[in-house]
Amino acid sequence: MEHPENSEEYKGLTVNKGIEQPSIVNPYLKHRKKVRRRQFSVGEFVEGIVKGDVTVLSQAVTLVESVKPEHQAVAQEVIEKCLPYSGKSMRIGISGVPGAGKSTSIDVFGLHVLEKGGKLAVLAIDPSSERSKGSILGDKTRMEKLSVHPKSFIRPSPSAGSLGGVARKTRETIILCEAAGFDKIFVETVGVGQSETAVHSMVDFFLLIQLAGTGDELQGIKRGIMEMADGIVINKADGSNIEKAKLAASHFRNALHLFPAPDSGWSPKVLTYSGFYGIGIKEIWDMIYEYFDFVKANGYFDYRRNEQAKYWMYESINEHLRDSFYNNERIAAMLPVKEREVLNGQLTSFVAAKKLLDAYFEMMK
């Protein structure tokens, strides 16, 4: 006998008589108030993070990024308690101009290293996010494979505040990620200058992604950025571009010879690869591992981390002093007045600054 569902009349959605269908809308739903998620206590945060709970980690990072003083207070306590569990990762900065292939490359670099085990966090410092109010870097959608990998954690750039503030938050996020067991951390940034310095101040290895251009590729790149690089990699070495990429690599090698030897004693390497086709990825990782072995053996690894810790102490002091000054209500009221007096020629800039600072320090007594 033919199955009734194969007959032409069967529409697939017939409701048998006598059976009452449940209401689609839950009648109680509308009465339910929107429940705010309870914020974890410091202890719960730390416990969750150390267990590697990514949901707890995400919420902690949100607190780190928050400008609310009550959030900051909890965040700072959580960071302090996570510190003993941190410090054990490979921190790698990755920089390149838009279109250089950062997201494509991070996707393949990340998958490659995760095949060997471990966990990878991708963070970002995006100096433009302050203006655009939205961050492009570290966006999950740009790293297709990595974003769905169970051992990865991708977080876009914090968007509020000055570059210094954004960088501090990223540095604090590194600590939380390390406490959560992430043993590789990528910090991505756009190759425009200042943000590189910020990234350089928080990573062990700085990788610069470049493209082969028309032969004058060295012109557009700032000397300071090249000097920071521990490795320069020329992307898109595929198809008809291979020879150009090799040529660019030799230009970079020659240029690097002209720089003074870096403090690390390591000679920065220049490699070509293709992120899109996955060519030359192993060689890049070999270089990174070789670097870590080298600087751990000669003591530079610890030296650099100590220098960075010192740098961040002073950066924190500067940031807090600045915030305390500018957020002071009386100072905020005086600022436009003094500004006008300077513009009118009634006061010099220096006298105006001194009056404001004197007033501030008087209030702090």
Contact residues for ligand GDP, defined by CB under 6 A = 96, 98-104, 235-236, 238, 274-276
Q: How far is the CB of 194 from ligand GDP (least distance, A)?
A: 18
DSSP secondary structure letter of residue 25: S
- In the complex, what is the shortest distance from the CB of residue 290 to ligand GDP, in angstroms, rounded to a whole number? 23
Residues 209 and 177: beta-carbon distance below 8 Å: no
The separation between the first and the last C-alpha atoms of the chain, rounded to the nearest angstrom, is 96
**Residue placing its CB nearer to ligand GDP in the complex, 181 or 275:** 275
Structural contact between residues 247 and 218, judged by C-beta atoms closer than 8 angstroms: no
Query: How many residues does this entry show for the chain?
Result: 365
In the complex, the smallest distance separating the C-beta of residue 109 from ligand GDP, rounded to whole angstroms, is 11
3-state secondary structure of 344: coil
- C-alpha 94/C-alpha 273 separation (Å) is 15
Based on CB atoms, which residue is closest to ligand GDP, 210 or 264?
Answer: 210
Taking the C-alpha atoms of residue 143 and residue 188, their distance in angstroms, rounded to an integer, is: 12
Instruction: Find the shortest distance in angstroms from Cβ 226 to ligand GDP.
Output: 18
Pick 21 or 141: Cβ nearer ligand GDP = 141
Give whichever of 78 and 100 is closer to ligand GDP, judged by the CB atom: 100
Question: CA–CA separation, 271 vs 283, rounded Å?
Answer: 8
Q: Which helix (H) or strand (E) holds 92?
A: strand 90-96
Rounded least distance, CB 19 to ligand GDP, Å: 54
Question: Rounded to the nearest whole angstrom, what is the least distance from the CB of residue 228 to ligand GDP in the complex?
Answer: 18
Which one, 98 or 299, has the nearer CB to ligand GDP? Answer: 98
- Radius of gyration of the chain from its Cα atoms, rounded to whole angstroms: 27
Q: Please report the DSSP string for 265-285 in residue order.
A: ----EEEE-BTTTTBSHHHHH
98 or 220: CB nearest ligand GDP? 98
